[in-house]
């Protein structure tokens, strides 16, 4: 790994002002790890063990997988991650006869492992600052659309050039601070990932949505996967002859456990935070975006649940979508509540007033930054006015028939040899088609189309669509859904075969095709051109203003900032710690098996597997799984580390860099973390590795896993 200087300008200012980095919040990029003085915070190993730019370190044991994080825990490519990260692969492999989602899955031999289709595993190999190249030729005068487009294009071009067609390598340029810092990351990519062990749903999702984003928690949210490569070590899609990947480093498991106050750290791939955004952004989130999306997702969940009731095949088909919608909807409701409770928008406005006063106090500063905040305000006012249209457009883009049509048109544009691209498109269409239930999709499409028809006239698009009349929105949606169902039945999209037949059409043939879904996708793409142009202009403006606002904020605060999470590898550290989330409520930081038995009702969402309940009653298990201080099998742990979505599956490491748990969630109050971290409410949740192995051994009879991890009981 090479060191990079993303924060070079930042660090320079820090050095000049000789202030130290604040350690209270932080998803630290690799370049910062050496500056954190972790020994003083409780680390008991050399910091080079965590990250060593010139050698092997824990960083090489961490991968980005399935939208979250995984860690290698054996020399044979065994990955520990979350149940909810393996979830899509588990539902895809499940049928009513082989219901791995419900009953769990154990591959006792390597041959029994099941391919997790579309799972890619990426390991950070190196990184390099490319800010100068990305920003070359861009100035404050560059028009916004050009600025946004030029930056995106350069980020992609650099990544492509550096990848240079290498099979094992994936490159990506990530924006660390808009308009001021860009880093090229090089990843080792692996395309053959398989399911090894998955606990029953009554463990992996115990407590379901009721307990999601909640402490105290009793969910065993873990699964084991394995990464495979071609016999010569190169990256290859699933093939029988592939062999387990040998990571440069794997993490050792510790059965010694944790207690309140212990130092812990997490390495992982946090997705997205918004801590450097202004009050304008937060006001829009609170007032519009979060309520809109959570309400829509609640509706989608209710629609799918109703359609799937009593039909296990349909339930399995919808399970993945429902889970992810429910997860987001609850998170957003937590955020709305948090924004209100903390009165965050008003606080940000007050902070910005102080910043403005600081700017105004110096004529030179006033000349340079005086209008930055009001300019951002203007951008958001304009954004707010068109946000209903943009979200309606985004929702339409998520509907599945339209998704198939868009796959067809992008396939027809492909520069690949025709036969190859046709095959690829067919594979994608076939996989997606298997996930479509026409009545539900008709209802979802109808909701979008009625919403678009009801936009203010100047924002409405899709003029060709006739919407039935009715006395209420729900009535019009239902009438349109019934009409759409008939139209779908008469469409080329009615059967898999006729749909796959479209894959060989040329671009012109597709453009002329009169099927209503293809016509809809043409209208959608046309409307998208204007919307995207506006979005690029906004992105370009914000990119310029936010970059300069950050400059003056650093001068004001006399400190550097850590970049917002952006799906690149970060370290966070903290302590095992309880909290007081509300009046008269104090929580301890560890839960136990007894708590599962207390919650167990024998029905969803508190439906622990029979084997677990009996085991607890019989106490016929090894003492190695019992925490002596708790006198019971520990289940989950709470800590004040700084995490977000994408940290799912990250290892919770002790002061010696050994794995003691796997991160999977946050407490409800900490959903607001993405906007603001606080010692008082920022708590994340992990599953104790002793519970993980307890379940694997006694419920999964997967003793081979313990052997592979080198855990002796
Ligand atoms: N449970 C979270 C999710 O599914 C992941 C971890 C987090 O966001 O804290 O998004």
Ligand 1 centroid to 560 CA: how many Å? 27
Q: How far apart are CA 330 and CA 247, in angstroms?
A: 36
Residue 212 Cβ < 6 Å to ligand 1: no
Ligand 1 centroid to 85 CA: how many Å? 10
pTM above 0.85, yes or no: yes
What's the domain range around 57?
9-23+32-254
Residue 81 Cβ < 6 Å to ligand 1: no
Please state whether beta strands 590-592 and 105-106 pair in parallel, antiparallel, or not at all (unpaired).
Answer: unpaired
Ligand 1 centroid to 649 CA: how many Å? 9
Nearest 10 degrees: CA dihedral of 569, 570, 575, 577?
A: -80
Tell me, yes or no, whether 289 and 423 share the same domain: yes
416 domain residue, yes or no: yes
Residue given tokens 């019971």 in the structure block: 632
Q: How far apart are CA 287 and CA 280, in angstroms?
A: 10
User: Coil, strand, or helix at residue 573?
Assistant: strand
638 domain residue, yes or no: yes
Contact 143, 540 (CB under 8 A): yes
Tell me, yes or no, whether 511 and 582 share the same domain: no
When pLDDT is averaged across residues 525-533 and rounded to a whole number, the result is: 96
Tell me, yes or no, whether 249 and 283 share the same domain: no
Report pLDDT for 24: 60
Tell me, yes or no, whether 509 and 391 share the same domain: yes
Ligand 1 centroid to 606 CA: how many Å? 20
When pLDDT is averaged across residues 657-682 and rounded to a whole number, the result is: 96
Ligand 1 centroid to 665 CA: how many Å? 4
Report pLDDT for 560: 83
Res. 432: pLDDT tops 50: yes
Res. 20: pLDDT tops 60: no
When pLDDT is averaged across residues 466-486 and rounded to a whole number, the result is: 93
User: Coil, strand, or helix at residue 603?
Assistant: strand
Which residue's CA is the closest to the ligand 1 atom numbered 8? Answer: 645
Domain endpoint, select from 527, 543, 559:
543
Tell me, yes or no, whether 478 and 578 share the same domain: no
Tell me, yes or no, whether 245 and 381 share the same domain: no
Nearest 10 degrees: CA dihedral of 612, 613, 618, 623?
A: 50
Tell me, yes or no, whether 231 and 166 share the same domain: yes
Domain endpoint, select from 508, 543, 578:
543
378 domain residue, yes or no: yes
Residue 335 Cβ < 6 Å to ligand 1: no
Q: How far apart are CA 354 and CA 349, in angstroms?
A: 9
Tell me, yes or no, whether 630 and 669 share the same domain: yes
User: Coil, strand, or helix at residue 537?
Assistant: helix
Res. 23: pLDDT tops 90: no
Tell me, yes or no, whether 575 and 537 share the same domain: no
352 domain residue, yes or no: yes
The mean pLDDT value of the chain amounts to 94
66 domain residue, yes or no: yes
What is the number of domains present in the chain?
A: 3
Q: How far apart are CA 33 and CA 425, in angstroms?
A: 43
Q: How far apart are CA 430 and CA 409, in angstroms?
A: 15
Tell me, yes or no, whether 537 and 653 share the same domain: no
Rg (C-alpha) for the chain, rounded Å, is 26
Contact 104, 699 (CB under 8 A): yes
Residue 674 Cβ < 6 Å to ligand 1: no
What are residue 66's phi and psi, to 5 degrees?
Answer: 55, 30
240 domain residue, yes or no: yes
Domain endpoint, select from 221, 254, 287:
254
558 domain residue, yes or no: no
Ligand 1 nearest-atom number relative to CA 663: 6
Report pLDDT for 559: 86
Record the tokens describing residue 406, joined without a space: 């868009």
How far CA 176 is from CA of 6, 10, 160, 161, 278, in Å, comes to 8, 12, 19, 20, 17
When pLDDT is averaged across residues 141-161 and rounded to a whole number, the result is: 97
When pLDDT is averaged across residues 320-332 and rounded to a whole number, the result is: 96
What residue ranges in 585-683 does DSSP mark as E strands? 585-587, 590-592, 634-639, 651-653, 659-666
Q: How far apart are CA 126 and CA 477, in angstroms?
A: 51
Tell me, yes or no, whether 231 and 298 share the same domain: no
Q: How confident is the model at residue 6 (pLDDT cuts 50, 70, 90)?
A: very low
- H or E element in which residue 352 lies: helix 344-360
| Mutation pick for ligand 1 pocket among 211, 664, 677, 686 (CB with most ligand atoms within 8 Å) | 664
Tell me, yes or no, whether 356 and 309 share the same domain: yes
When pLDDT is averaged across residues 22-38 and rounded to a whole number, the result is: 85
User: Coil, strand, or helix at residue 175?
Assistant: strand
When pLDDT is averaged across residues 589-616 and rounded to a whole number, the result is: 97
Give the chain's end-to-end CA distance (angstroms, integer): 37
Res. 387: pLDDT tops 60: yes
Report pLDDT for 384: 97
273 domain residue, yes or no: no
Say which residues have a Cβ less than 8 Å from residue 230's Cβ, sequence separation at least 6. Answer: 236, 239, 241, 242, 243
């Amino acid at each position: 790994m090479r060191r990079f200087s993303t924060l070079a300008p930042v660090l320079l200012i820090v050095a000049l002002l000789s202030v130290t980095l604040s350690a209270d919040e932080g998803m630290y990029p690799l370049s910062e790890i050496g500056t954190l003085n972790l020994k003083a915070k409780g680390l008991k190993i050399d910091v080079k063990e965590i990250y060593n730019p010139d050698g092997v370190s824990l960083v090489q044991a961490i991968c980005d997988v399935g939208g979250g994080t995984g860690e290698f825990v054996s020399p044979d490519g065994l990955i520990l991650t979350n149940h909810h990260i393996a979830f899509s692969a588990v539902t895809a492999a499940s049928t009513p006869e082989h219901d791995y989602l419900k009953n769990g899955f154990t591959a006792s031999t390597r041959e029994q492992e099941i391919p997790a289709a579309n799972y890619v595993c990426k390991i950070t190999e190196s990184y390099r600052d490319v800010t100068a190249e990305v920003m070359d030729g861009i100035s404050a005068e560059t028009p916004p659309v050009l600025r946004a487009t030029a930056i995106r294009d350069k980020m992609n071009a650099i990544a492509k050039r550096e990848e240079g067609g290498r099979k094992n390598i994936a490159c990506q340029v990530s924006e660390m601070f808009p308009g001021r810092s860009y880093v090229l990351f090089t990843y080792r990519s692996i395309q053959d990932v398989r399911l090894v062990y998955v606990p029953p749903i009554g463990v992996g999702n115990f407590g379901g949505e009721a307990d999601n984003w909640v402490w105290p928690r009793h969910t065993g949210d873990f699964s084991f996967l394995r990464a495979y490569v071609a016999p010569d070590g190169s990256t290859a899609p699933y093939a029988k002859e592939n062999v387990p990947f040998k990571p440069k480093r794997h993490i050792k498991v510790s059965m010694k456990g944790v207690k309140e106050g212990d130092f812990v750290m997490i390495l992982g791939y946090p997705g997205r935070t918004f801590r450097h955004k202004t009050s304008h952004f937060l006001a829009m989130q609170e007032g519009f975006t979060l309520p809109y999306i959570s309400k829509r997702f609640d509706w989608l969940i209710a629609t799918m649940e109703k359609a799937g009731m009593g039909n296990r095949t349909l339930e399995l088909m919808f399970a993945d979508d429902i889970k992810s919608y429910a997860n987001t909807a609850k998170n957003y409701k937590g955020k709305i509540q948090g924004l209100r409770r903390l009165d965050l928008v008003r606080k940000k406005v007050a902070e910005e007033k102080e910043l403005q006063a600081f700017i105004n106090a110096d004529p030179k500063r006033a000349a340079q930054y005086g209008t930055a905040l009001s300019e951002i305000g203007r951008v958001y006012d304009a954004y707010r006015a068109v946000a209903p249209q943009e979200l309606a457009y985004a929702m339409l883009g998520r509907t599945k028939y339209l998704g198939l049509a868009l796959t067809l048109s992008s396939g027809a544009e492909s520069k690949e040899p025709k036969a190859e691209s046709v095959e690829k498109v067919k594979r994608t269409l076939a996989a997606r088609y298997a996930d479509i239930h026409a009545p539900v999709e008709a209802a979802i499409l109808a909701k979008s189309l009625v919403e678009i028809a009801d936009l203010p006239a100047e924002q409405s698009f899709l003029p060709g669509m006739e919407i039935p009349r009715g006395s209420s929105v729900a009535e019009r949606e239902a009438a349109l859904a019934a009409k759409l169902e008939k139209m779908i039945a008469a469409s080329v999209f009615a059967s898999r075969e006729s749909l796959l037949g479209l894959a060989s059409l040329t671009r012109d043939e597709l453009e002329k095709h009169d099927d209503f879904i293809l016509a809809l996708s043409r209208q959608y793409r046309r409307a998208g051109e204007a919307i995207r142009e506006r979005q690029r202009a906004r992105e370009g403006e914000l990119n310029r203003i936010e970059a300069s606002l950050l400059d003056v904020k650093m001068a004001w605060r006399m400190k550097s900032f850590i970049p917002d999470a952006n799906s690149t590898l970060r370290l966070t550290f903290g302590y095992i710690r309880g909290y007081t989330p509300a009046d008269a409520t104090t929580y301890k930081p560890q839960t136990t098996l007894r708590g599962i038995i207390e919650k167990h009702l024998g029905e969803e969402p508190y439906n622990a597997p029979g084997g677990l309940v009996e085991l607890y009653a019989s106490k016929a298990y090894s003492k190695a799984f019992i925490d002596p201080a708790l006198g019971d099998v520990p289940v989950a742990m709470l800590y004040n580390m700084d995490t977000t979505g994408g940290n799912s599956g990250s290892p919770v490491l002790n002061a010696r860099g050994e794995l003691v748990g796997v991160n999977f969630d946050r407490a409800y109050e900490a959903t607001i973390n993405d906007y603001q971290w606080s010692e008082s409410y920022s708590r994340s949740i992990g599953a104790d590795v002793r519970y993980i192995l307890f379940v694997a051994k006694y419920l999964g009879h997967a003793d081979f896993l313990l052997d592979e991890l080198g855990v002796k009981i």
